[in-house]
Amino acid sequence: MQMKVRFLVFFFAIPLVLADLQVGFYKSTCPQAESIVQQVVQAEFCRDRSITAALLRMHFHDCFVRGCDASILIDSRSEKASEKDAGPNQTVRGFEVIDNAKKRLEAACPSTVSCADIITLATRDAVALAGGPNYTSATGRRDGLISDPEQVLLPGPAISVTGALQFFTAKGMALDDMVTLLGAHSVGVAHCFFFDYRLSNYEGSGAPDPSMDPALIAKLNMTCARNAGATAFLDQSTSFAMDNHFFKQILLRKGVLQIDQELALDNTSARFVSGFASNEVVFHQSFAKAMIKLGSVQVLVGNAGEIRKNCRAFNAPKMKSK
């Protein structure tokens, strides 16, 4: 039986300039830039549909540390660790997709397209391929010059809505942005160690988390019993589609991560959950808007930072002339 993938495509217009970024930034310097990234992502998506979740996570983890500057891509060296070594980033993947796009872009337009823009464009294209909104991304980001694991402070899966919101407001984002972006869990997975405490001994009670559906608890217990590194889909309904079923699931107490379930239980966020669960078009519109906003967080533009030739390493220092 051939599996069918549903594609829902919406186009959203945004202003031509956003936080000094520009739509069509590479129009004259590398006109094929966006199509090259799209081709690389499409080829990977055909091979592995889970790449959408991987790129969304990479993009989020990058933007929430020093801003969207591709600092997450830097490889650690023997003498200096990078963001990749930080605990929350050790399960981030998809770096080879960025490498492949960068290699092709360097061949077509050397030292022109930033790794930060590649992450943003690749994530956008992966979202559209998974049936999410197809939105316009402004470009013109520069790559950062610092990658420090000590600066990787991200909201964890057991955090409250109030606690998580503090991370988002610190980046200039609001509650609706947070609820919307957590909708990316529609295509994500989580390792059992992120939620197994909810399955049997929640808060030392000797019983499962009462906010979780008993049938889901039984299913997850079977999944996690198989091996220590097992994972579970965060949306147990349509696991590879960027749709609104994630919000429908958490309304039914089927949130795998505690923060996901809290979205439906907390009075401040529940109204957004209900709205997205009842109207997929509204969710897609909100998701496109929130992703554009996320992509403009603390970006480097103009002469700041650099354009890396290799996304995994800072450029070699330029020799100063005497």
pLDDT reported for residue 20: 83
Domain extents for the chain?
A: 11-152, 161-290
pLDDT in tens, 273-283: 999 999 999 99
Point out the annotated binding site. 62, 65, 67, 69, 71, 83, 155, 185, 235, 238, 243
Sign for the CA dihedral angle at 273, 7, 127, 3 comes to: positive
pLDDT reported for residue 137: 95
Question: Considering only CA atoms, which of 286, 94, 315 is closest in space to residue 188?
Answer: 94
Structure tokens at 225: 């019993």
Looking at the chain, the whole-number percentage of residues with pLDDT higher than 90 is 89
| CA distance linking residue 258 with residue 282, whole number of Å | 24
Q: Tell me the CB-side half-sphere exposure of residue 232, using CA atoms within 13 A.
A: 26
Cβ atoms within 10 A of the Cβ of 80, count? 11
Active site residues: 61
What is 161-290's CATH topology?
Peroxidase; domain 2 (1.10.420)
pLDDT reported for residue 12: 42
**Ranges of the chain with pLDDT below 50:** 1-19
pLDDT reported for residue 3: 37
pLDDT reported for residue 319: 63
Point out the annotated binding site for substrate. 155
Residue 101 CB partners (closer than 8 Å, separation 6+): 36, 37, 40, 41, 118, 122
Cβ atoms within 10 A of the Cβ of 128, count? 24
pLDDT reported for residue 18: 47
Structure tokens at 72: 């997450």
Instruction: Please state which architecture CATH assigns to domain 11-152.
Output: Orthogonal Bundle (1.10)
Residue 232 CB partners (closer than 8 Å, separation 6+): 189, 190, 192, 195, 220, 223, 224, 256
Question: Considering only CA atoms, which of 87, 143, 147 is closest in space to residue 120?
Answer: 143
Phi, psi of 190 (to 5 degrees): -135, 140
Residue 229's Cα: distance from chain center in Å? 21
pLDDT reported for residue 321: 54
